[in-house]
């Protein structure tokens, strides 16, 4: 049985003003995530991929379909009923500068979910040390403020916070898009290493198919609220069945200028062919 299942998920937002029309942001999306697996959810800005993650977290109400976590439908649960699932599903947001309180020490940031779960202060301190080691930060980082760290280090703190309660699923919402290339690669390697050691599953939301290809076992491609194709990473990123996936692959940057020029020409030809 899959850890998470989305079955014909629909999310609509009301229109603005009395004449505004409702907007369907997610339209009958179905996918699943297995334990210890990374599913990449890739698409352009506005495709609905972040809304899918917010719906799973209970931050956005759904208009139809079902969200099953470990066999239990969670989309209609109230706040009190959903609380036990909060520890099992965590999130790493895009911007490590706005997702962490700059006036709090790292120890305070990491202890918040632990103390909320009822952990004693001394036990929480030991857990914080373990978490910092897990994400490759020194123990003395606990006594420093989030504002003292670089973007990559802040994202490591955000990952540590997400892992604090030993979740089974972490939603990574554009978790590396705000980082430079070298830092991005280190964070991706860190996420892979943590998954291999702990068995945590990831829903990895990104606009960059090259990043998704690096970390994912399976990939779902979204456009305008719908999933166009969903399958193994190797198949979707090497033999895609939908022309939009071809466009995403051709739009990803490569280091070789000549290869990039050839890819741009192929993308333009594909766009012309699809419009005819």
Q: Say whether both 209 and 172 belong to one domain.
A: yes
pLDDT digits (tens, 9 = 90+) for 56-112: 999 999 999 999 999 999 998 888 888 888 889 999 998 878 888 888 999 999 999
- Per-residue pLDDT tens over the stretch 127-139: 999 999 999 998 8
Burial (CB < 10 A; 0-12, 13-18, 19+), residue 139, is exposed
Helix (H, G, I), strand (E, B) or coil at 86: helix
What is the pTM assigned to this prediction?
0.87
Report whether 62 contacts 37 (CB < 8 A): no
Q: In this structure, what CATH number is given to the domain that contains residue 151? A: 3.40.50.300
Give the CA angle between residues 38, 91, 67 to the nearest 5°.
Answer: 70
Domain shared by 173 and 157, yes or no? yes
Helices (H), 164-256: 181-198, 209-215, 233-238, 243-251
Say whether both 164 and 274 belong to one domain. no
Mean pLDDT of the chain: 88
What count of other Cβ atoms lies within 10 Å of the Cβ of residue 58?
A: 18
Q: Which H or E run contains 82?
A: helix 79-86
Residues 78 and 194 in one domain: yes
Same domain, 139 and 266: no
Q: What sign has the CA pseudo-torsion 141, 144, 145, 149?
A: negative
Using the 8-state DSSP alphabet, how is residue 22 labeled?
P
Q: Could you tell me where the DSSP H helices lie in 36-180? A: 49-57, 79-86, 106-116, 121-134, 151-163
Of the given ranges (67-76, 213-222, 265-274), which has the lowest mean pLDDT?
265-274
Residue-number span of the structural domain to which 62 is assigned: 4-237
> For the segment 147-184, what is each residue's pLDDT rounded down to a tens digit?
888 889 999 999 999 999 999 999 999 999 888 888 88
Identify the three-state secondary structure at position 27.
strand
- On whether both 185 and 119 belong to a single domain, the answer is yes
Give CA–CA dist 82/80, Å, rounded: 5
Split into its structural domains, the chain has a count of 2
Helix (H, G, I), strand (E, B) or coil at 186: helix
Same domain, 174 and 95: yes
Both 265 and 223 in a single domain? no
For the beta sheet containing 72-73, the strands, ordered from the edge strand earlier in sequence to the opposite edge, are 23-33, 4-13, 64-69, 72-73
* Residues 181 and 49 reside in one and the same domain: yes
Q: Are residues 97 and 66 in the same domain?
A: yes
Q: For the chain, how big is the Rg over CA atoms in Å?
A: 20
**54 and 85 co-located in one domain:** yes
Tokens standing for residue 211 = 């990043």
């Amino acid at each position: 049985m899959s850890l998470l299942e989305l079955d014909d998920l629909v999310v609509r937002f009301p229109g603005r003003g009395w004449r505004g029309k409702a907007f369907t942001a997610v339209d009958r999306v179905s996918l699943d995530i297995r334990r210890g697996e990374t599913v990449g959810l890739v698409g352009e800005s506005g495709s609905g991929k972040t809304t899918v993650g917010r719906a799973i977290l209970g931050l956005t109400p759904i208009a139809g379909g079902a969200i099953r976590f470990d066999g239990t439908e969670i989309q209609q649960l109230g706040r009190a009923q959903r609380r036990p699932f909060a520890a099992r599903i965590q999130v790493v947001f895009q911007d490590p500068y706005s997702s962490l309180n700059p006036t709090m020490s790292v120890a305070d940031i990491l202890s918040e979910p632990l103390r909320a779960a009822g952990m004693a202060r001394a036990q929480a301190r030991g857990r914080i040390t373990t978490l910092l080691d897990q994400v490759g930060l020194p123990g003395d980082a606990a006594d420093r403020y989030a504002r003292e760290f670089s973007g990559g280090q802040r994202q490591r703190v955000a990952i540590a916070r997400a892992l604090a309660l030993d979740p089974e699923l972490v939603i990574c919402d554009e978790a590396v898009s705000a980082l430079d290339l070298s830092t991005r690669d280190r964070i991706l390697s860190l996420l892979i290493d943590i998954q291999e050691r702990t068995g945590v599953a990831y829903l990895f939301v990104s606009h960059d198919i090259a990043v998704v290809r690096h970390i994912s076992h399976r990939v779902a491609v979204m456009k305008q609220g719908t999933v166009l194709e969903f399958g193994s990473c190797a198949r979707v990123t090497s033999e895609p069945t939908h022309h939009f996936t071809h466009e995403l692959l051709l739009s990803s940057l490569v280091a070789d200028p000549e290869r990039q020029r050839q890819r741009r020409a192929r993308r333009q030809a594909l766009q012309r062919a699809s419009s005819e």
